[in-house]
């Protein structure tokens, strides 16, 4: 059999070859449940390392590997594709699409990638710069490549994994924090020829709508504010497919800009933002939609993982679709028609009290409404969500969904007038950057209130059967197996397994770095393997650095595969301690100057270097910047550091403003020094 000779028939019958993991969620229903039982709740403690492979870039790793007939196809940062012998880890080939290294600034959440799809001897990857590329599965040589961007002058990116249905490769894009318009496109798997495109939000209302769905959606928007800001609705991650109904489900993202007033005069539902939309996969035609957050204004994407299952609810067998989007409610929909069956909170939520059963609409509390003219509002969950892209899993035996949830909150405040229109490289959401105090004691308190939780969620009863708490948010996706196991990677650098029925911790092993991706399991030569894609990054450590420090991990990207009795060793973790350099003198600056420096830092730099210049450790913490680099700071900002992933900021800020940013960083280094000195001083030091 030629490599990666997967087709729809094989995916439909995935349970007949449980040793392979042939599509993103293993099956079209994306349950991430494996029927394999060789590794089970009786022997899982005998798992040892089978093999490891280091990846090129120590940025976030989010890929679900595809494993077919003994070969693993997976990705790392910058959309680099790796093929390994799945038994030994021996590299077979590597393909680097050469995404320009300074493109990082054009995405909200680093140059991550969630994996490939395979089909009839080809491997498909969505490159961060917007290309969809087909590779020859034998050698990784490109066969075709298309540019999926609607407008190359906008910050369109791809981080999601393609799905393939009826010979069509389906892919969306990211960019709703940068002023783009969302859509999903289908390309012929053989040739790359475009088959259809479904827009998720309307275009310019002065032009005719593209189709009936856009005509319907347009009625739910007001004014034309969104035209310049794209409208958003990017479908940057999840899809699922029901072959019996022949329905493709896409998860649609947040509005662009977040600011609902700038976007739509603060009026209307704004379809299809934050919605699940069912499409015909052959034509791209609309079938139904369910909107989780009408009038979205909090980055409440509904791009989170969707699982299809058959559940018995009130005595009736229902074909359901389950999703736990960012907004904090767990939804169970009838997937034949999009009707709401139930929705309950799975984490604390303040923007809505409940979802009304009769209308299917949330009942908003007003507590998170930052447009009420009363200033900053604390929004729960935060823009990182009660759940983000980390995939869930569903175990048909226990009937439970294993959900990597998180408790987070953030302060949001609208700009009165747009500071600027969206430009490349710079996040612009029509809000002031999320507020975070500088006082380390308060930051510590907030950080401790941000929790990660693995929930074993009963979707029929709509409540947790068991849960495990973690020291930070941003723990990994899950995998359920017929061996009564749930596997998960953790933010604090472990691979763990729980009993699926009781939640008892049965096994854990260090993996050196935060493990966020969904693990997979497969067999080669009759032996079962479990693979974790490891590597800390993505939006949590990059933007909300201070909240992520309790994870106490460094970025270190690697494939780590386990098997029963595995004897390989994991290389020791990188652990160089950061040393504060000789501090730059504090120049006397006015309050106003320091405030301007802080605003600019948080607006321009914090998306990677962290709010208030506290980095989560994936991108350098500028408080530790050496005197030498302070000497040519302007050169770095204007020139960028392309080889390290930093774009040029020559456009948009003048040298005086760059100097204000530098002064702000210096004050933050001094504050850190004082904090470290205080921590090092003996608790009851005698007065001098
Ligand atoms: O609106 C968008 O277009 C968009 C894209 C992406 C992305 O492509 O990674 C993320 C988000 N939004 C987002 O809101 C978010 O929380 C997020 C986290 C991550 C990540 O990989 O860590 N990506 C994204
Ligand atoms: Ca977003």
For the CA of 158, the closest atom of ligand 1 is 8
Please tell me the pTM assigned to this model. 0.96
Residues involved in catalysis: 299
- Quote the ligand 1 centre to 565 CA distance (angstroms): 38
> Which residue's CA is the nearest one to ligand 1's atom 21?
538
Q: What is the pLDDT of residues 597-646, one digit of tens each?
A: 998 999 889 989 999 999 999 999 999 999 999 999 999 999 999 888 89
DSSP for 486-532, written as a single string: EEEE-TTSEEEEEETTT--EEEEEE-SS---SPPEEEEETTEEEEEE
Q: Is 538 in the pocket of ligand 1 (CB under 6 A)?
A: yes
Burial of 659: CB neighbours in 10 Å, binned 0-12, 13-18, 19+: middle
Quick one: which ligand is closest to 386's CA?
1
Question: Which residues keep their CB under 5 angstroms from ion ligand 2?
Answer: 176, 254, 299
| pLDDT of res. 19 | 98
Quick one: which ligand is closest to 157's CA?
1
Q: Is 155 in the pocket of ligand 1 (CB under 6 A)?
A: no
For the CA of 384, the closest atom of ligand 1 is 16
> Which residue's CA is the nearest one to ligand 1's atom 18?
539
**Cα–Cα distance measured from residue 330 to residue 85, given in angstroms and rounded to the nearest whole number:** 38
For the CA of 537, the closest atom of ligand 1 is 22
* Beta sheet of 463-470, edge-to-edge order: 393-395, 400-407, 451-458, 463-470
| pLDDT of res. 433 | 78
Which tokens hold the place of 326?
A: 């960012």
**b/e sequence 597-625, b meaning 16+ C-beta within 10 Å:** bbbbbbbbbbbbbbbbbbbbbbbbbbbeb
| pLDDT of res. 506 | 98
- Pocket-testing residue among 539, 540, 547, 557, ligand 1, by greatest number of atoms within 8 A of Cβ: 539
Q: Is 236 in the pocket of ligand 1 (CB under 6 A)?
A: yes
- Quote the ligand 2 centre to 221 CA distance (angstroms): 19
> Is the ipTM here above 0.90?
yes
**Cα–Cα distance measured from residue 530 to residue 557, given in angstroms and rounded to the nearest whole number:** 17
For the CA of 160, the closest atom of ligand 1 is 8
Which segments within 419-484 are labelled E, that is strand?
A: 431-435, 451-458, 463-470, 478-481
Low-confidence ranges of the chain (pLDDT < 50): 688
| pLDDT of res. 687 | 54
Query: In whole angstroms, how large is the CA radius of gyration of the chain?
Result: 24
Q: What is the pLDDT of residues 116-125, one digit of tens each?
A: 999 999 999 9
The greatest distance separating any two alpha carbons of the chain, rounded to the nearest whole angstrom, comes to 80
Q: In terms of DSSP bridges, do strands 47-54 and 316-323 run parallel, antiparallel, or are they unpaired?
A: unpaired
H-helix segments, 533-654: 539-543, 545-548, 591-600, 606-609, 627-631, 633-639
Q: Is 262 in the pocket of ligand 1 (CB under 6 A)?
A: no
- Quote the ligand 1 centre to 108 CA distance (angstroms): 6
Torsion 310-312-316-322 (CA) sign: negative
Q: Is 40 in the pocket of ligand 1 (CB under 6 A)?
A: no
For the CA of 234, the closest atom of ligand 1 is 3
| pLDDT of res. 257 | 96
Q: Is 299 in the pocket of ligand 1 (CB under 6 A)?
A: yes
> Which residue's CA is the nearest one to ligand 1's atom 24?
109
- Pocket-testing residue among 109, 327, 619, ligand 1, by greatest number of atoms within 8 A of Cβ: 109
């Amino acid at each position: 059999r030629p490599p990666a000779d997967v087709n729809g028939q094989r995916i439909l019958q995935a349970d007949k070859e449980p040793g392979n993991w042939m599509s993103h969620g293993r099956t079209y229903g994306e349950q991430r449940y494996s029927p394999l039982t060789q590794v089970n709740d009786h022997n899982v403690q005998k798992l040892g390392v089978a093999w490891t492979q280091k990846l090129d870039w120590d940025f976030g790793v989010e890929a679900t590997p595809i494993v077919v007939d003994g070969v693993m196809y997976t990705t790392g940062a910058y959309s680099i594709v790796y093929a390994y012998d799945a038994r030994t880890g021996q590299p077979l080939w590597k393909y680097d699409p050469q995404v320009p290294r300074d493109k990082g600034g054009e995405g909200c959440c680093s140059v991550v990638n969630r994996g490939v799809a395979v089909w009839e001897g080809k491997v498909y990857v969505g490159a961060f710069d917007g290309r969809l590329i087909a590779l020859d599965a034998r050698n990784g040589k490109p066969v075709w490549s298309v540019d999926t961007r609607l407008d190359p002058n906008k910050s369109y990116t791809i981080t999601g994994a393609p799905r393939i249905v009826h010979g069509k490769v389906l892919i969306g894009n990211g960019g709703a924090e940068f002023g783009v318009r969302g859509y999903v496109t289908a390309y012929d798997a053989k040739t790359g020829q475009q088959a259809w495109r479904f827009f998720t939000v309307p275009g310019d209302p002065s032009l005719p709508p593209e189709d009936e769905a856009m005509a319907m959606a347009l009625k739910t928007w007001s004014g034309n504010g969104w035209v310049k800001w794209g409208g958003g609705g990017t479908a940057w991650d999840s899809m699922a497919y029901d072959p019996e109904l022949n329905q493709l489900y896409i998860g649609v993202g947040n509005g662009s800009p977040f600011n609902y007033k700038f976007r739509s005069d603060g009026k209307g539902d704004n379809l299809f933002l934050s919605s699940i939309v069912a499409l015909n996969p052959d034509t791209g035609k609309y079938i139904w939609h369910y909107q989780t957050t009408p009038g979205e204004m909090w980055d409440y994407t509904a791009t989170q993982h969707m699982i299809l299952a058959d559940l018995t609810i009130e005595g009736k067998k229902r074909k359901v679709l389950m999703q736990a989007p960012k907004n904090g409610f767990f939804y169970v929909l009838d997937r034949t028609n999009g009707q709401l069956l139930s929705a309950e909170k799975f984490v604390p939520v303040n923007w809505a009290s409940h979802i009304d059963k009769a209308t299917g609409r949330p009942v908003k509390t007003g507590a998170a409404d930052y447009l009420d003219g009363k200033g900053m509002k604390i929004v729960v969950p935060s823009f990182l969500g009660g759940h983000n892209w980390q995939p869930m899993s569903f175990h048909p035996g226990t009937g439970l969904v294993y959900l990597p949830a998180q408790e987070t909150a953030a302060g949001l405040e609208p700009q009165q007038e747009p500071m600027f229109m969206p430009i490349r490289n710079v996040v612009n959401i029509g809000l002031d950057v999320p507020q975070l105090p500088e006082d380390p004691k308060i930051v510590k308190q907030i950080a401790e209130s941000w929790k990660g939780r693995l929930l074993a969620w009963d979707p029929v009863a709509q409540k947790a059967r068991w849960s495990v708490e973690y020291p930070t948010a941003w723990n990994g996706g899950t995998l359920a197996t017929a061996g009564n196991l749930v596997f998960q990677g953790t933010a604090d650098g472990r691979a763990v397994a729980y009993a699926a029925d009781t939640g008892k911790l049965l096994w854990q092993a260090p993996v050196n770095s935060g493990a966020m991706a969904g693990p997979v399991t497969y067999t080669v030569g009759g032996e079962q393997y479990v693979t974790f894609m490891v590597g800390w990054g993505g939006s949590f450590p990059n933007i909300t650095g201070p909240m992520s420090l309790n994870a106490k991990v460094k970025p270190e990207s690697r494939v780590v595969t386990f098997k029963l009795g595995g004897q390989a060793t994991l290389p020791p973790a990188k652990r160089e301690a950061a040393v504060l350099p000789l501090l730059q003198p504090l120049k006397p600056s006015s309050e106003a100057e320091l405030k301007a420096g802080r605003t600019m830092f948080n607006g321009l730099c914090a998306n990677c270097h962290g709010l208030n210049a506290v980095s989560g450790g994936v991108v350098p913490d500028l408080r530790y910047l050496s005197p030498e680099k302070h000497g040519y700071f302007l050169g770095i900002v204007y020139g960028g550091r392309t080889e390290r992933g930093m774009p040029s900021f020559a456009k948009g800020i003048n040298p005086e403003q760059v100097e204000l940013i530098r002064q702000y960083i210096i004050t933050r280094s001094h504050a850190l020094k004082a904090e470290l000195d205080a921590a090092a001083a003996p608790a009851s030091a005698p007065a001098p």
